[in-house]
Amino acid sequence: MLFHVRMDVNIPSALPEAEAAAIKAREKAYSQELQSSGQWRHLWRIAGQYSNISIFDTASIDELHTLLSTLPLFPYMKIEVMPLCRHPSSIRSNDL
């Protein structure tokens, strides 16, 4: 199943910089593992914001929830999820 996911990050300014840097490093490593596995298919930064738009490919919404809730930055995120399905007018057959 494909999901469009928007993640807006808001790290509290009171969080010590060293702790924030460590969380970001863990987030980067985990996100790259998920991208390598094919579960995190696309990742784009939203220009001018600490936000991204991503496409996830998981077997279920429960699996997606598990992946998102184990992101190191999850406690500092607002997340919007939209399930996707193929549009009948799409000319692409390789984007499933």
Indicate the fold that domain 2-84 takes in CATH.
Alpha-Beta Plaits (3.30.70)
| CA separation for the pair 10, 78 (Å, rounded) | 8
The number of angstroms, rounded, from the C-alpha of 23 to the middle of its chain's C-alpha atoms is 15
Q: Which of 12, 15, 4, 45 is nearest to 28 (CA)?
A: 45
Ranges of each domain in the chain: 2-84
Coil, strand or helix at 4:
strand
**Whether residue 96 has pLDDT greater than 90:** no
pLDDT digits 0-9 by tens, 4-49: 999 999 999 999 999 999 999 999 999 999 999 999 999 999 999 9
